[in-house]
């Protein structure tokens, strides 16, 4: 009977776990819908802003972007690593950590690399190996454009004062609830336009192209970082919803196996008791 009691306790424990994973799945599904709508609505704006900036820059001198376009010899690199503050989201955080280590090993093995983290999970792991100059996990407390823009402004300042020669952003791009794609994007310096870009439309610019470009660059960089954080945020909830769904399925399968084992053990115990009673009755008759 002790064995049966142990199995019953395990079944009860797994049932409690299933309730938790189901609840977390439902919460993540609700948050995912809002986060997915936000990133889907933002992508066309971000893409059009970048396209407009490139079209204008292509018609100007190579230094039109000012200090943000200055190409320097790369000796010191800053990687902005975007993860989550919480776990239980499958391989969401580990994939970014692996991508960060891969980027450092393959591209910057002989360079000085430092990190700025957005998310506690990435900071906890990477800070053991690399220097983290700042952790902006509080961005998720109130995920707005203004809060992320402050981080982007800091990155721009670090590049302009030549603290770093190159800044890249590493994050998970949201594709769907089951798929997140690790991305490494150059933040600064601004990439020069590849190939010849021509515009057939003749526009009148007020004030001037140069002034418009210089005003658009900070706006574009802030939007780029905000899009990356939003992508990561949606990916996190998609990954957590998928992970909790799988956890619930696994718990259900394990519970069913334990119920079958419990019923078999209970039937065996009942059969043994019947045999003992029959055996005792025969002994009395003899």
| Distant-in-sequence, close-in-space partners of 174: CB < 8 Å, separation ≥ 6 | 35, 36, 39, 180, 231, 232, 234, 235, 238
Greatest Cα-to-Cα distance within the chain, rounded to the nearest angstrom: 117
Angle at Cα 97 formed by Cα 39 and Cα 141, nearest 5°?
45
Structure-block tokens of residue 111: 């360079």
CA distance linking residue 4 with residue 118, whole number of Å: 48
Place of tokens 């809002």: 34
**Rounded to 5, what percent of the chain is helix, strand, coil?**
65, 15, 20
Q: Sheet containing 132-135: which strands, arranged edge to edge?
A: 132-135, 112-118, 76-82, 166-176, 179-188
Strand partners, 179: 176
Read off the tokens for 41.
Answer: 């609505």
HSE of 269, CA atoms in CB hemisphere, 13 A = 11
Q: How far apart are CA 256 and CA 196, in angstroms?
A: 64
> Is 134 an active-site residue?
no
Give the active site residue among 32, 56, 77, 89: 89
Active site residues: 89
């Amino acid at each position: 009977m002790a064995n049966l009691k142990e199995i019953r306790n395990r079944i009860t424990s797994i049932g409690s776990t299933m309730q938790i994973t189901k609840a977390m799945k439902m919460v993540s599904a609700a948050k995912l819908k809002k986060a997915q709508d936000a990133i889907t609505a933002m992508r066309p704006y971000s893409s059009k802003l970048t396209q407009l900036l490139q079209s204008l820059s292509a018609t100007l001198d190579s230094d039109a972007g000012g200090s943000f376009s200055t190409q320097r010899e790369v000796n010191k690199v800053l990687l902005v690593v975007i993860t989550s503050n919480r776990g239980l989201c499958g391989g969401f955080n580990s994939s970014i950590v692996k991508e960060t280590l891969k980027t450092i090993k393959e591209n910057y093995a002989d360079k000085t690399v430092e990190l700025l983290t957005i998310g506690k999970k990435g900071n906890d792991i990477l800070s053991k190996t690399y220097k983290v100059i700042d952790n902006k996990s509080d961005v998720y407390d109130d995920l707005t454009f203004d809060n992320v823009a402050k981080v982007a402004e800091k990155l721009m300042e670090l590049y302009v004062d030549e603290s770093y020669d190159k800044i890249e952003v590493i994050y998970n791009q949201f594709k769907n609830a089951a798929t997140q794609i690790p991305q490494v994007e150059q933040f600064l310096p601004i990439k020069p336009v590849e190939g010849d870009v021509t515009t057939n439309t003749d526009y009148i610019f007020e004030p001037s192209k140069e002034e418009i470009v210089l005003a658009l660059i900070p706006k574009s960089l802030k939007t780029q970082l905000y899009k990356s954080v939003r992508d990561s945020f949606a990916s996190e909830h998609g990954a957590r919803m998928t992970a909790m769904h799988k956890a619930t399925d696994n718990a259900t399968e394990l519970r069913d196996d334990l119920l079958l084992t419990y019923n078999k053990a209970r039937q065996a115990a009942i059969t043994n008791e019947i045999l003992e009673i029959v055996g005792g009755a025969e002994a009395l008759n003899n």
